[in-house]
Amino acid sequence: MEDKDFVQGKKYVVKLKDKSVMEGVFVSETSIHVFLKLKSGYNAGFEKKNITEYKEVVDRKISRDKKVTKKYDSKKLHKILILHTGGTIASKVDYSTGAVTPRFSPEDLVGMYPELMDLASVESKLVSNIPSDDMNFHHYNMLGKSIVEALKDKKIKGIILTHGTDTLHYTSAALSFALECVPIPIVLVGSQRSSDRPSSDAALNLLSAAYFITNTKSSGVYICMHENMNDEKCVLLKGVNAKKMHSTRRDAFKSINTKPFATIDFNNKKIDYKDEASSTHGNFSFKPFNEKIRVGIIRSRPGLAPEELKPYEKFDGLVLEGTGLGHFPIGFIDKSTEHNKEILSFIKDFADKKVLCMTTQTIRGRVNLSVYSPGRALKEAGVLGHDLDIITETAYVKLAWLLSNYSRNEAKKLYHANLRGEISKRSEVEEYEL
Ligand code: ASP
Protein backbone atom coordinates (compact mmCIF):
# COMPACT_ATOMS: atom_id res chain seq x y z
CA MET A 1 0.00 0.00 0.00
CA GLU A 2 1.85 3.06 -1.21
CA ASP A 3 -0.73 5.56 -2.45
CA LYS A 4 -2.47 8.08 -0.24
CA ASP A 5 -5.97 6.68 -0.57
CA PHE A 6 -7.19 7.40 2.92
CA VAL A 7 -9.48 10.33 3.48
CA GLN A 8 -9.33 12.22 6.78
CA GLY A 9 -12.34 11.62 9.00
CA LYS A 10 -13.46 8.45 7.16
CA LYS A 11 -13.54 5.09 8.90
CA TYR A 12 -11.54 2.09 7.61
CA VAL A 13 -11.04 -1.60 8.34
CA VAL A 14 -7.37 -2.45 7.90
CA LYS A 15 -5.95 -5.99 7.62
CA LEU A 16 -2.31 -6.47 8.52
CA LYS A 17 0.26 -9.09 7.49
CA ASP A 18 0.10 -10.69 10.94
CA LYS A 19 -3.63 -11.28 10.26
CA SER A 20 -4.79 -8.70 12.81
CA VAL A 21 -7.68 -6.47 11.82
CA MET A 22 -8.01 -2.85 12.96
CA GLU A 23 -10.93 -0.47 12.59
CA GLY A 24 -10.69 3.24 13.06
CA VAL A 25 -11.03 6.74 11.70
CA PHE A 26 -8.16 7.89 9.49
CA VAL A 27 -6.14 10.63 11.17
CA SER A 28 -2.96 11.13 9.17
CA GLU A 29 -0.19 9.41 7.26
CA THR A 30 3.48 9.71 6.47
CA SER A 31 5.32 7.99 3.63
CA ILE A 32 5.81 5.03 5.99
CA HIS A 33 2.90 5.05 8.47
CA VAL A 34 -0.87 5.33 8.59
CA PHE A 35 -2.55 6.57 11.81
CA LEU A 36 -6.08 5.60 12.77
CA LYS A 37 -8.13 6.67 15.77
CA LEU A 38 -9.50 3.46 17.27
CA LYS A 39 -12.86 3.08 19.00
CA SER A 40 -11.04 3.12 22.37
CA GLY A 41 -10.15 6.75 21.67
CA TYR A 42 -6.46 5.91 21.24
CA ASN A 43 -4.56 6.37 18.01
CA ALA A 44 -2.60 3.56 16.43
CA GLY A 45 0.04 3.71 13.70
CA PHE A 46 0.73 0.94 11.17
CA GLU A 47 3.53 0.56 8.68
CA LYS A 48 2.07 0.79 5.21
CA LYS A 49 4.16 -2.15 4.06
CA ASN A 50 2.36 -4.37 6.60
CA ILE A 51 -1.12 -3.50 5.34
CA THR A 52 -2.50 -6.29 3.14
CA GLU A 53 -6.02 -4.94 2.64
CA TYR A 54 -8.12 -1.97 3.67
CA LYS A 55 -11.70 -0.94 3.13
CA GLU A 56 -13.77 2.11 3.96
CA VAL A 57 -16.59 1.54 6.43
CA VAL A 58 -19.58 3.62 5.56
CA ASP A 59 -20.79 5.14 8.76
CA ARG A 60 -23.94 7.18 8.74
CA LYS A 61 -22.74 9.08 11.79
CA ILE A 62 -19.91 10.91 10.08
CA SER A 63 -20.85 13.62 7.70
CA ARG A 64 -18.60 16.16 6.12
CA ASP A 65 -18.90 19.57 4.68
CA LYS A 66 -15.99 21.72 3.49
CA LYS A 67 -16.57 24.67 5.81
CA VAL A 68 -18.96 23.51 8.49
CA THR A 69 -19.49 19.98 9.77
CA LYS A 70 -23.08 19.22 10.60
CA LYS A 71 -25.37 16.40 11.43
CA TYR A 72 -28.91 17.29 12.25
CA ASP A 73 -31.46 15.07 13.82
CA SER A 74 -32.88 18.07 15.57
CA LYS A 75 -35.83 16.22 17.03
CA LYS A 76 -33.56 13.90 18.95
CA LEU A 77 -30.28 15.71 19.37
CA HIS A 78 -29.23 18.98 20.90
CA LYS A 79 -27.02 21.28 18.93
CA ILE A 80 -23.48 22.13 20.05
CA LEU A 81 -21.27 24.73 18.45
CA ILE A 82 -17.51 24.16 18.61
CA LEU A 83 -15.57 27.39 18.34
CA HIS A 84 -12.02 26.61 17.58
CA THR A 85 -9.16 28.88 18.72
CA GLY A 86 -5.99 26.77 18.45
CA GLY A 87 -3.52 25.21 20.90
CA THR A 88 -2.39 21.63 21.36
CA ILE A 89 -5.91 20.23 21.08
CA ALA A 90 -5.83 21.44 17.50
CA SER A 91 -2.26 20.37 16.78
CA LYS A 92 -0.66 17.30 15.41
CA VAL A 93 2.79 15.89 15.56
CA ASP A 94 4.99 16.23 12.54
CA TYR A 95 6.49 12.74 12.77
CA SER A 96 9.51 13.73 10.68
CA THR A 97 10.62 16.52 13.04
CA GLY A 98 8.75 15.66 16.24
CA ALA A 99 7.37 19.22 16.39
CA VAL A 100 3.79 19.91 17.42
CA THR A 101 2.10 22.33 15.03
CA PRO A 102 -1.47 23.56 14.87
CA ARG A 103 -2.91 21.89 11.82
CA PHE A 104 -6.29 20.40 12.62
CA SER A 105 -9.19 22.15 11.08
CA PRO A 106 -12.51 22.08 12.95
CA GLU A 107 -13.74 19.53 10.42
CA ASP A 108 -10.83 17.26 11.30
CA LEU A 109 -11.69 17.44 14.99
CA VAL A 110 -15.27 16.42 14.46
CA GLY A 111 -14.17 13.77 11.98
CA MET A 112 -11.74 12.36 14.51
CA TYR A 113 -14.31 12.10 17.28
CA PRO A 114 -17.33 10.58 15.59
CA GLU A 115 -18.79 9.80 19.04
CA LEU A 116 -19.58 13.52 19.26
CA MET A 117 -22.26 12.92 16.66
CA ASP A 118 -24.04 10.48 18.98
CA LEU A 119 -24.40 13.20 21.59
CA ALA A 120 -25.39 16.20 19.55
CA SER A 121 -25.60 17.71 16.17
CA VAL A 122 -22.35 19.57 15.90
CA GLU A 123 -21.33 22.68 14.08
CA SER A 124 -17.80 23.94 14.18
CA LYS A 125 -16.26 27.25 13.31
CA LEU A 126 -12.68 28.48 13.19
CA VAL A 127 -12.30 31.69 15.21
CA SER A 128 -8.50 31.66 15.25
CA ASN A 129 -5.65 29.21 15.16
CA ILE A 130 -3.05 30.61 17.52
CA PRO A 131 -1.15 29.42 20.56
CA SER A 132 -3.06 30.66 23.59
CA ASP A 133 0.06 32.51 24.76
CA ASP A 134 -0.46 35.00 21.94
CA MET A 135 -4.00 35.86 22.94
CA ASN A 136 -5.01 39.24 24.28
CA PHE A 137 -8.13 41.31 24.98
CA HIS A 138 -8.81 41.51 21.26
CA HIS A 139 -9.24 37.72 21.11
CA TYR A 140 -11.53 37.72 24.16
CA ASN A 141 -13.71 40.25 22.37
CA MET A 142 -13.66 38.19 19.17
CA LEU A 143 -14.80 35.12 21.11
CA GLY A 144 -17.44 37.13 22.95
CA LYS A 145 -18.82 38.39 19.64
CA SER A 146 -18.90 34.87 18.20
CA ILE A 147 -20.81 33.68 21.25
CA VAL A 148 -23.28 36.58 21.05
CA GLU A 149 -23.82 35.70 17.38
CA ALA A 150 -24.31 32.01 18.21
CA LEU A 151 -26.89 32.81 20.89
CA LYS A 152 -29.21 34.03 18.14
CA ASP A 153 -29.65 30.37 17.21
CA LYS A 154 -32.00 29.22 19.94
CA LYS A 155 -31.34 25.56 19.11
CA ILE A 156 -27.76 25.77 20.42
CA LYS A 157 -27.64 24.01 23.79
CA GLY A 158 -24.05 24.96 24.53
CA ILE A 159 -20.71 25.98 23.09
CA ILE A 160 -17.34 24.23 23.30
CA LEU A 161 -14.26 26.39 22.87
CA THR A 162 -11.18 24.42 21.92
CA HIS A 163 -8.24 26.35 23.33
CA GLY A 164 -4.56 26.10 24.22
CA THR A 165 -4.08 25.17 27.86
CA ASP A 166 -1.44 27.75 28.79
CA THR A 167 -3.87 30.64 29.10
CA LEU A 168 -7.16 28.75 29.00
CA HIS A 169 -8.04 29.97 32.51
CA TYR A 170 -7.42 33.62 31.57
CA THR A 171 -9.88 33.25 28.68
CA SER A 172 -12.44 31.44 30.85
CA ALA A 173 -12.21 34.27 33.40
CA ALA A 174 -12.41 36.92 30.66
CA LEU A 175 -15.55 35.38 29.16
CA SER A 176 -17.09 34.88 32.61
CA PHE A 177 -16.90 38.63 33.20
CA ALA A 178 -17.65 39.81 29.67
CA LEU A 179 -20.73 37.58 29.20
CA GLU A 180 -23.02 38.43 32.09
CA CYS A 181 -25.85 35.93 32.70
CA VAL A 182 -24.94 33.89 29.64
CA PRO A 183 -27.95 31.59 29.22
CA ILE A 184 -26.15 28.43 28.03
CA PRO A 185 -23.04 26.50 29.11
CA ILE A 186 -19.81 27.63 27.48
CA VAL A 187 -17.11 25.00 28.05
CA LEU A 188 -13.42 25.57 27.33
CA VAL A 189 -11.54 22.42 26.41
CA GLY A 190 -7.84 21.94 25.87
CA SER A 191 -5.47 19.01 25.81
CA GLN A 192 -1.96 18.47 27.08
CA ARG A 193 -1.10 15.99 24.29
CA SER A 194 -1.87 16.66 20.65
CA SER A 195 -4.97 14.94 19.36
CA ASP A 196 -3.14 12.45 17.15
CA ARG A 197 -0.95 11.04 19.93
CA PRO A 198 -1.99 7.74 21.43
CA SER A 199 -1.83 9.31 24.90
CA SER A 200 -3.95 12.32 23.95
CA ASP A 201 -6.43 13.54 26.52
CA ALA A 202 -8.35 15.45 23.85
CA ALA A 203 -11.03 12.80 23.15
CA LEU A 204 -12.22 12.38 26.74
CA ASN A 205 -12.09 16.13 27.40
CA LEU A 206 -14.15 16.95 24.31
CA LEU A 207 -16.68 14.15 24.74
CA SER A 208 -17.14 14.92 28.44
CA ALA A 209 -17.75 18.59 27.65
CA ALA A 210 -20.32 17.62 25.02
CA TYR A 211 -21.97 15.17 27.43
CA PHE A 212 -22.17 17.87 30.12
CA ILE A 213 -23.67 20.40 27.72
CA THR A 214 -26.35 18.02 26.50
CA ASN A 215 -27.31 16.84 30.00
CA THR A 216 -27.14 19.87 32.26
CA LYS A 217 -29.48 22.65 33.25
CA SER A 218 -26.50 24.81 34.28
CA SER A 219 -25.25 27.77 32.36
CA GLY A 220 -22.10 29.85 32.66
CA VAL A 221 -18.45 29.51 31.66
CA TYR A 222 -16.52 26.35 32.59
CA ILE A 223 -13.31 24.46 31.87
CA CYS A 224 -13.41 20.71 31.18
CA MET A 225 -10.16 18.73 31.56
CA HIS A 226 -8.98 15.40 33.06
CA GLU A 227 -9.79 14.91 36.75
CA ASN A 228 -6.66 12.86 37.45
CA MET A 229 -3.97 10.85 35.65
CA ASN A 230 -6.36 8.00 34.78
CA ASP A 231 -8.06 8.38 31.46
CA GLU A 232 -11.46 7.91 33.10
CA LYS A 233 -13.16 11.06 34.30
CA CYS A 234 -13.10 14.77 33.65
CA VAL A 235 -13.56 17.63 36.03
CA LEU A 236 -15.60 20.71 35.30
CA LEU A 237 -14.19 23.87 36.84
CA LYS A 238 -15.82 27.26 37.13
CA GLY A 239 -14.26 29.75 34.76
CA VAL A 240 -13.09 32.19 37.43
CA ASN A 241 -11.18 30.04 39.88
CA ALA A 242 -9.18 27.55 37.87
CA LYS A 243 -5.42 27.49 37.56
CA LYS A 244 -2.96 25.52 35.44
CA MET A 245 -0.94 23.73 38.11
CA HIS A 246 1.30 21.49 36.02
CA SER A 247 3.13 21.98 32.76
CA THR A 248 2.54 18.49 31.36
CA ARG A 249 0.06 16.43 33.41
CA ARG A 250 -3.35 15.76 31.92
CA ASP A 251 -4.98 16.80 35.20
CA ALA A 252 -3.14 20.13 35.20
CA PHE A 253 -6.17 22.30 35.99
CA LYS A 254 -7.36 22.60 39.57
CA SER A 255 -10.01 24.61 41.30
CA ILE A 256 -8.42 27.11 43.68
CA ASN A 257 -10.01 28.08 47.01
CA THR A 258 -13.26 26.41 46.03
CA LYS A 259 -14.70 23.05 45.03
CA PRO A 260 -14.73 21.94 41.41
CA PHE A 261 -18.17 22.37 39.92
CA ALA A 262 -18.69 18.75 38.84
CA THR A 263 -17.02 15.57 37.66
CA ILE A 264 -18.07 13.89 34.44
CA ASP A 265 -17.84 10.15 33.99
CA PHE A 266 -18.36 9.95 30.25
CA ASN A 267 -17.99 6.16 30.02
CA ASN A 268 -20.73 5.59 32.60
CA LYS A 269 -22.66 8.66 31.49
CA LYS A 270 -22.75 10.31 34.89
CA ILE A 271 -22.38 13.90 36.09
CA ASP A 272 -21.60 14.34 39.76
CA TYR A 273 -22.23 17.92 40.88
CA LYS A 274 -19.89 18.99 43.69
CA ASP A 275 -21.29 22.45 43.95
CA GLU A 276 -24.76 23.80 43.51
CA ALA A 277 -25.80 23.52 39.90
CA SER A 278 -25.94 27.09 38.71
CA SER A 279 -28.34 28.45 36.23
CA THR A 280 -28.09 32.07 35.39
CA HIS A 281 -31.01 34.38 35.91
CA GLY A 282 -31.12 37.94 34.75
CA ASN A 283 -30.61 39.67 31.48
CA PHE A 284 -27.76 38.58 29.29
CA SER A 285 -25.26 41.29 28.37
CA PHE A 286 -21.91 41.36 26.62
CA LYS A 287 -19.51 43.98 27.93
CA PRO A 288 -16.28 43.71 25.95
CA PHE A 289 -12.75 44.67 26.97
CA ASN A 290 -11.24 48.01 26.04
CA GLU A 291 -8.36 46.70 23.96
CA LYS A 292 -6.22 49.71 24.89
CA ILE A 293 -6.41 49.18 28.67
CA ARG A 294 -3.07 48.22 30.17
CA VAL A 295 -2.88 46.22 33.38
CA GLY A 296 0.35 44.72 34.68
CA ILE A 297 1.23 42.01 37.18
CA ILE A 298 4.19 42.62 39.49
CA ARG A 299 5.44 39.70 41.52
CA SER A 300 7.21 40.56 44.76
CA ARG A 301 10.45 38.82 45.77
CA PRO A 302 13.44 39.41 48.01
CA GLY A 303 15.60 41.95 46.23
CA LEU A 304 12.82 43.66 44.25
CA ALA A 305 14.27 46.94 42.95
CA PRO A 306 12.28 50.23 42.56
CA GLU A 307 13.55 50.60 38.98
CA GLU A 308 11.55 47.50 38.07
CA LEU A 309 8.31 49.33 38.86
CA LYS A 310 9.01 52.51 36.87
CA PRO A 311 7.96 51.15 33.46
CA TYR A 312 4.45 50.55 34.85
CA GLU A 313 3.86 54.25 35.59
CA LYS A 314 1.67 54.71 32.51
CA PHE A 315 -0.43 51.59 33.06
CA ASP A 316 -4.11 51.87 34.02
CA GLY A 317 -4.01 49.24 36.72
CA LEU A 318 -1.66 46.87 38.49
CA VAL A 319 -2.01 43.54 40.22
CA LEU A 320 0.61 43.14 42.92
CA GLU A 321 1.29 39.48 43.58
CA GLY A 322 2.63 39.68 47.10
CA THR A 323 4.23 37.11 49.37
CA GLY A 324 2.23 35.43 52.13
CA LEU A 325 -0.81 37.42 53.17
CA GLY A 326 -0.02 40.02 50.48
CA HIS A 327 3.30 41.72 51.24
CA PHE A 328 5.86 43.75 49.36
CA PRO A 329 9.31 44.92 50.54
CA ILE A 330 8.30 48.41 51.64
CA GLY A 331 10.01 48.69 55.02
CA PHE A 332 13.04 50.86 55.74
CA ILE A 333 15.04 48.91 58.27
CA ASP A 334 18.69 49.79 57.62
CA LYS A 335 20.94 51.18 54.86
CA SER A 336 20.62 47.98 52.82
CA THR A 337 16.83 48.40 52.59
CA GLU A 338 16.77 52.17 52.04
CA HIS A 339 15.49 51.84 48.47
CA ASN A 340 12.33 50.11 49.73
CA LYS A 341 11.00 53.61 50.52
CA GLU A 342 10.87 54.21 46.78
CA ILE A 343 8.79 51.07 46.28
CA LEU A 344 6.25 52.34 48.81
CA SER A 345 6.16 55.79 47.26
CA PHE A 346 5.60 54.26 43.78
CA ILE A 347 2.70 52.25 45.20
CA LYS A 348 1.22 55.33 46.91
CA ASP A 349 1.48 57.49 43.79
CA PHE A 350 0.03 54.79 41.57
CA ALA A 351 -2.86 54.06 43.95
CA ASP A 352 -3.69 57.80 44.04
CA LYS A 353 -4.19 58.00 40.31
CA LYS A 354 -4.95 54.47 39.11
CA VAL A 355 -5.99 51.11 40.63
CA LEU A 356 -3.76 48.64 42.49
CA CYS A 357 -4.90 45.23 43.74
CA MET A 358 -3.07 42.72 45.90
CA THR A 359 -3.13 38.93 45.38
CA THR A 360 -0.93 36.28 46.93
CA GLN A 361 1.72 34.05 45.40
CA THR A 362 0.87 31.26 47.86
CA ILE A 363 -1.68 30.08 45.24
CA ARG A 364 -4.29 29.06 47.81
CA GLY A 365 -5.62 31.23 50.61
CA ARG A 366 -6.74 34.76 51.22
CA VAL A 367 -5.00 38.15 51.23
CA ASN A 368 -5.01 39.81 54.63
CA LEU A 369 -3.58 43.31 54.84
CA SER A 370 -4.46 43.77 58.50
CA VAL A 371 -2.13 41.34 60.22
CA TYR A 372 1.40 42.75 59.68
CA SER A 373 2.44 46.40 59.56
CA PRO A 374 3.64 46.28 55.88
CA GLY A 375 0.19 44.95 54.95
CA ARG A 376 -1.48 47.76 56.89
CA ALA A 377 0.76 50.32 55.18
CA LEU A 378 -0.22 48.95 51.77
CA LYS A 379 -3.91 49.07 52.64
CA GLU A 380 -3.52 52.63 53.87
CA ALA A 381 -1.75 53.50 50.61
CA GLY A 382 -4.95 52.46 48.78
CA VAL A 383 -4.06 48.92 47.71
CA LEU A 384 -7.24 46.85 47.13
CA GLY A 385 -7.70 43.14 47.73
CA HIS A 386 -7.82 42.88 51.53
CA ASP A 387 -9.73 39.75 52.60
CA LEU A 388 -10.18 38.48 49.03
CA ASP A 389 -9.07 35.12 47.65
CA ILE A 390 -9.11 35.93 43.94
CA ILE A 391 -6.36 34.15 42.03
CA THR A 392 -3.84 36.39 40.27
CA GLU A 393 -4.93 35.48 36.73
CA THR A 394 -8.56 36.26 37.51
CA ALA A 395 -7.59 39.46 39.36
CA TYR A 396 -5.72 40.62 36.27
CA VAL A 397 -8.64 39.88 33.96
CA LYS A 398 -11.23 41.30 36.37
CA LEU A 399 -9.34 44.55 36.85
CA ALA A 400 -8.86 45.02 33.10
CA TRP A 401 -12.54 44.28 32.45
CA LEU A 402 -13.70 46.64 35.23
CA LEU A 403 -11.46 49.45 33.94
CA SER A 404 -12.83 48.78 30.44
CA ASN A 405 -16.45 49.22 31.49
CA TYR A 406 -16.64 51.40 34.60
CA SER A 407 -15.22 54.61 36.03
CA ARG A 408 -12.15 54.33 38.27
CA ASN A 409 -14.24 54.71 41.43
CA GLU A 410 -16.85 52.19 40.33
CA ALA A 411 -14.09 49.76 39.31
CA LYS A 412 -12.47 50.07 42.76
CA LYS A 413 -15.77 49.29 44.45
CA LEU A 414 -16.68 46.44 42.11
CA TYR A 415 -13.28 44.81 42.50
CA HIS A 416 -14.37 43.84 46.03
CA ALA A 417 -17.78 42.57 44.87
CA ASN A 418 -18.25 38.90 44.10
CA LEU A 419 -19.45 39.28 40.51
CA ARG A 420 -19.08 35.77 39.05
CA GLY A 421 -18.12 33.52 41.97
CA GLU A 422 -14.45 34.60 41.90
CA ILE A 423 -14.45 35.29 45.66
CA SER A 424 -15.34 32.58 48.14
CA LYS A 425 -17.23 33.61 51.23
CA ARG A 426 -15.01 31.97 53.82
CA SER A 427 -12.05 29.69 53.38
CA GLU A 428 -12.84 26.20 54.55
CA VAL A 429 -9.17 25.29 54.50
CA GLU A 430 -9.53 21.63 55.52
CA GLU A 431 -11.64 20.89 52.49
CA TYR A 432 -9.02 21.64 49.92
CA GLU A 433 -5.90 19.80 49.01
CA LEU A 434 -2.74 21.86 49.06
N1 ASP B 1 1.29 26.43 24.20
C2 ASP B 1 0.03 25.75 24.00
C3 ASP B 1 -1.08 26.77 24.11
O4 ASP B 1 -1.49 27.12 25.16
C5 ASP B 1 -0.14 24.65 24.97
C6 ASP B 1 -1.44 23.89 24.87
O7 ASP B 1 -2.23 24.04 24.00
O8 ASP B 1 -1.69 23.06 25.73
O9 ASP B 1 -1.54 27.24 23.10
pLDDT, tens digit (0-9, with 9 covering 90-100), for 249-290: 999 999 999 999 999 999 999 999 998 756 667 899 999 999
Q: Would residue 2 count as lying in a domain?
A: no
Q: Would residue 306 count as lying in a domain?
A: yes
73 or 91, which is more confident: 91
Whether the CB of 334 sits within 6 Å of ligand 1 = no
pLDDT at position 117 is 78
The residue from 243, 244, 379, 398 that is catalytic is 244
Active site residue 88: yes
* Residue 62's pLDDT band (cuts 50, 70, 90): very low
Q: Any idea what the CATH number is for the domain that residue 119 is in?
A: 3.40.50.1170
175, 77: one domain: yes
Selection from 116, 210, 125, 115 nearest residue 160 by Cα: 210
376, 396: one domain: yes
213, 320: one domain: no
**Residue located nearest, by CA, to atom 8 of ligand 1:** 165
118, 233: one domain: yes
β-pairing, 33-38 vs 91-93, is: unpaired
Task: Read off the pLDDT of residues 99-136 as tens digits, 9 standing for 90 and up.
Answer: 666 556 656 666 677 788 788 888 888 888 888 999 99
What is the share, in percent, of the chain residues with pLDDT greater than 90?
61
Please provide the average confidence, as pLDDT, over all residues in the chain: 87
* Residue 71's pLDDT band (cuts 50, 70, 90): very low
Q: Would residue 113 count as lying in a domain?
A: yes
Q: Would residue 35 count as lying in a domain?
A: yes
Task: Read off the pLDDT of residues 176-230 as tens digits, 9 standing for 90 and up.
Answer: 999 999 999 999 999 988 776 666 788 899 999 999 999 999 999 999 999 998 8
21, 41: one domain: yes
The domain tally of the chain equals 3
pLDDT at position 70 is 43
Q: Any idea what the CATH number is for the domain that residue 51 is in?
A: 2.30.30.100
Q: Please give the C-alpha separations between residue 287 and each of 150, 174, 320, in angstroms, as whole numbers.
A: 16, 10, 25
Out of 19-23, 75-79, 156-160, 203-207, the most confident range is: 156-160
Average pLDDT over residues 354-381: 96
**Contact of 238 with 255, CB cutoff 8 Å:** yes
Domain boundary among 244, 261, 286: 286
Domain boundary among 242, 266, 286: 286
Whether the CB of 247 sits within 6 Å of ligand 1 = no
202, 272: one domain: yes
242, 312: one domain: no
Selection from 166, 104, 161 nearest residue 133 by Cα: 166
Asked if the model's pLDDT at residue 61 lies above 60, the reply is no
pLDDT at position 31 is 74
Active site residue 166: yes
* Residue 372's pLDDT band (cuts 50, 70, 90): very high
Whether the CB of 164 sits within 6 Å of ligand 1 = yes
**Contact of 224 with 197, CB cutoff 8 Å:** no
Task: Read off the pLDDT of residues 127-157 as tens digits, 9 standing for 90 and up.
Answer: 888 889 999 999 999 999 999 999 999 999 9
Q: Would residue 376 count as lying in a domain?
A: yes
Q: Would residue 72 count as lying in a domain?
A: yes
How many other CB atoms sit within 10 Å of the CB of residue 284?
Answer: 14
Active site residue 85: no
Average pLDDT over residues 89-99: 65
pLDDT at position 218 is 95
**Contact of 242 with 192, CB cutoff 8 Å:** no
Whether the CB of 88 sits within 6 Å of ligand 1 = yes
Q: Would residue 428 count as lying in a domain?
A: no
pLDDT at position 22 is 84
Whether the CB of 365 sits within 6 Å of ligand 1 = no
130, 34: one domain: no
pLDDT at position 66 is 35
**Residue located nearest, by CA, to atom 7 of ligand 1:** 164
Domain boundary among 233, 255, 286: 286
Distance 344 CA to ligand 1 centre (A): 37
**Residue 47: domain span:** 11-57
**Contact of 177 with 205, CB cutoff 8 Å:** no
432 or 337, which is more confident: 337
Task: Read off the pLDDT of residues 320-356 as tens digits, 9 standing for 90 and up.
Answer: 999 999 999 998 889 999 999 999 999 999 999 999 9
Beta bridge partners of 28: 35
Whether the CB of 102 sits within 6 Å of ligand 1 = no
Q: Dihedral of CA 32/34/40/41: which sign?
A: positive
230, 362: one domain: no
Q: Would residue 420 count as lying in a domain?
A: no
43, 130: one domain: no
What is the share, in percent, of the chain residues with pLDDT greater than 70?
85
Distance 332 CA to ligand 1 centre (A): 43
pLDDT at position 187 is 98
367, 394: one domain: yes
Asked if the model's pLDDT at residue 23 lies above 90, the reply is no
pLDDT at position 282 is 86
Q: Any idea what the CATH number is for the domain that residue 411 is in?
A: 3.40.50.40
278, 303: one domain: no
